Amino acid sequence: KVKRNTKDRFSVEVPSLRRDVQEQVDLIEELARISGYDRIPQTLPRVTPQIRLNKTRELVSFIKGILLGLGLNEVITYSLVDSATLRAKGVQAQANAIEISNPLSKEQEILSPALIPGLLTALKNNLNHNITDLKLFEIGKNYLATKENSSLGIIMRGEKCQDWLRGAQQKIGFFDLKGALEAFLRKLGILNFK
């Protein structure tokens, strides 16, 4: 039985023998079957794509682009370290560092509270392979018991070519790192820094 409620609304009572018609989509299918599938116009459904931007990911990608443009190379290091490595790299494993209760190995017992151990390990591995001119950065997470932070670490070492005509070499120093950080901050639109 069909009863018109308003101009655009109907009430439909389904016979008890049609137990397969229980929801609105079942009723729409029945209407299409009775009136004929060939009478339904063939059109594609209108889909309005919506792009959802992850602001954090977009910012990290922008920062990586700036650092790559400044001549640095990205490294991705392990988040798990051992306490001896932290002490050797000068990072104190605070009481609130997160320890893994069942680590896979001795080298993976603590979630790293800083990026420095990983960057120094990357530096050491490169030096062991006679790669001495390095400008590295990492954007990663550091973990403490109360929170997880995103951090940026930069490490520079080696020589730079001071005079391209004469080929004079000069070691990378503090002012090179300072210059890279100033250029980085300017690209981010931060102009008031000391």
Q: Residue 94 has what pLDDT?
A: 56
Residue 148 pLDDT > 80, yes or no? yes
How far is Cα 30 from Cα 13, in angstroms, rounded to an integer? 13
When pLDDT is averaged across residues 53-80 and rounded to a whole number, the result is 88
DSSP string, 21-57: --SHHHHHHHHHHHH-GGGS---PPP--------HHH
Q: What is the pTM of this model?
A: 0.63
Query: What tens digit of pLDDT does each residue of 62-73 get?
Result: 999 999 998 899
CA 102 to centroid of chain Cα atoms: 27
Which residue type is seen at 67? L
Please give the single-letter amino acid code of residue 136. L
pLDDT at 162 over 80: no
Mean pLDDT for the stretch of residues 147-152:
87
Q: Which residue, 116, 122, 112, 121, is CA-closest to 148?
A: 112
Degrees to nearest 5, angle at CA 113 with 109 and 119? 95
Model pLDDT for residues 81-138, shown as the tens digit of each residue: 887 777 776 666 556 678 778 878 877 888 888 888 888 889 999 999 998 888 999 9
- Of the given ranges (2-11, 86-95, 174-183), which has the lowest mean pLDDT? 86-95
Residues in contact with 61: Cβ distance below 8 Å, sequence separation at least 6, in sequence order: none
